[in-house]
Chains A and B, each alone.
Chain A
Amino acid sequence: MNGPLLKVDNLTKHYPLGSGFFKKSIPVIRAVEDVSFTVEAGETLCIVGESGCGKSTVARLLMRLVEPTAGRVLIEGTDIASLKKHTLHAWRRRMQMVFQDPYSSLNPRLTAGQIITEPVENFEHLNRKQRQALAADLLRKVGMSPEMMHRLPSELSGGQRQRLGIARALSLNPSLIIADEAVSALDVSVQAQVLNLLLDLQQQMGIAFVFISHDLGVVEQIAHRVAVMYLGRIVELAPSEALFAKPVHPYTEALIAAAPVPDPTRIRLEAAVEGEVPSPINPPSGCAFHPRCPLAVERCRIEVPPLVPMVDGRVVACHVRAPATGMPGQVYAVANLATPISAITGR
Chain B
Amino acid sequence: MSAPVEYVPTGRLRISDLPRLASRHPLVIAGGGLLALLIILALAAPLYAGDPVNMDPFKRLQPPSDEMWLGSDNLGRDVFARTIFGARISLLVGLLSAASAAMVGLLIGVVAGYSRSFDNIVMRVMDGLMSIPTILLAIALITLTGPGIGILIVAIAIPETPAVARLVRSVVLGVRERPYVEAALCGGAHLPKVLWRHILPSTVPALMVQGATVCASAILTEAGLSFLGVGVPPEIPSWGNMIASSRLYLAIAPMTIFAPGVCLAVTVLAVNLLGDGLRDMFDPRAKRRR
Residues of A within 8 A of B (CB): 60, 63, 65, 89, 92-93, 96-97, 99-101, 104-111, 118-119, 122-123, 152, 154-155, 165, 168, 171-172
Contact = CB atoms under 8 A, between A and B. Distances in A.
Contacts of A99: 179, 182-183
Given A65-B186, A154-B10, A154-B11, 20 more contacts: A63-B186, A89-B190, A92-B186, A96-B186, A97-B183, A97-B186, A104-B180, A105-B179, A105-B183, A107-B180, A107-B198, A109-B11, A111-B12, A118-B184, A118-B189, A118-B197, A119-B188, A123-B188, A152-B12, A171-B187
Nearest to A66: B182
Contact of A122 (B178, B193, B201): B193
Contact of A152 (B11, B182, B183, B197): B11
B185 interface: yes
17 contacts: A65-B186, A89-B188, A96-B187, A97-B186, A105-B179, A108-B10, A109-B9, A109-B201, A119-B186, A122-B188, A122-B189, A122-B190, A123-B188, A154-B10, A155-B11, A165-B183, A168-B183
A122 B187 contact: yes
B183 A92 contact: no
A276 to B, nearest CB: 26
Contacts of B184: 107, 118
Contacts of B44: none
A93 B188 contact: yes
Given A119-B188, A122-B189, A123-B188, A110 B12 contact: yes
A276 B198 CA distance: 39
Contacts, number: 70
B248 interface: no
Given A99-B179, A122-B193, A109 B12 contact: yes
Contacts of B198: 107
**Tier of interface size on chain B:** 20 to 34
A96 B193 CA distance: 18
Nearest to A86: B190
A118 B187 contact: yes
A182 to B, nearest CB: 12
A276 B8 CA distance: 36
Interface of B: 9-13, 178-180, 182-190, 193, 197-198, 201
Contacts of A168: 183, 187
A60 B182 CA distance: 9
Given A109-B9, A154-B11, A119 B187 contact: yes
B194 to A, nearest CB: 10
Given A101-B179, A104-B179, A172 B188 contact: yes
Contacts of B178: 104
Contacts of B183: 97, 99, 105-106, 165, 168
A65 B189 contact: no
A65 B13 CA distance: 29
Contacts of A152: 11-12
Contacts of B180: 104-107
Contacts of B193: 122
B189 to A, nearest CB: 5
A343 B187 CA distance: 51
Nearest 4 interchain pairs by C-beta: A119-B187, A92-B188, A105-B179, A109-B12
A337 B260 CA distance: 93
A286 B162 CA distance: 52
Contacts of A65: 182, 185-186
A273 B12 CA distance: 48
B193 to A, nearest CB: 7
A204 B34 CA distance: 63
A65 B188 CA distance: 11
Contacts of A100: 179
B148 to A, nearest CB: 41
Contacts of A122: 187-190, 193
Contacts of A92: 186-188
Looking at A105, A106, A155, the one whose CB has the most chain B CB atoms below 10 A away is A105
Nearest to B198: A107
Contacts of A101: 179
A201 B12 CA distance: 31
B285 to A, nearest CB: 17
A171 B184 CA distance: 13
Contacts of B10: 108, 154
Nearest to A118: B187
A340 to B, nearest CB: 41
Nearest to B183: A105
Nearest to B178: A104
Contacts of A110: 12, 197
Nearest to A104: B179
Given A96-B187, A122-B188, A108 B12 contact: yes
Contacts of B12: 108-111, 152
Nearest to B189: A122
Nearest to A65: B182
Contacts of A105: 179-180, 182-183
A39 to B, nearest CB: 17
Contacts of A165: 183
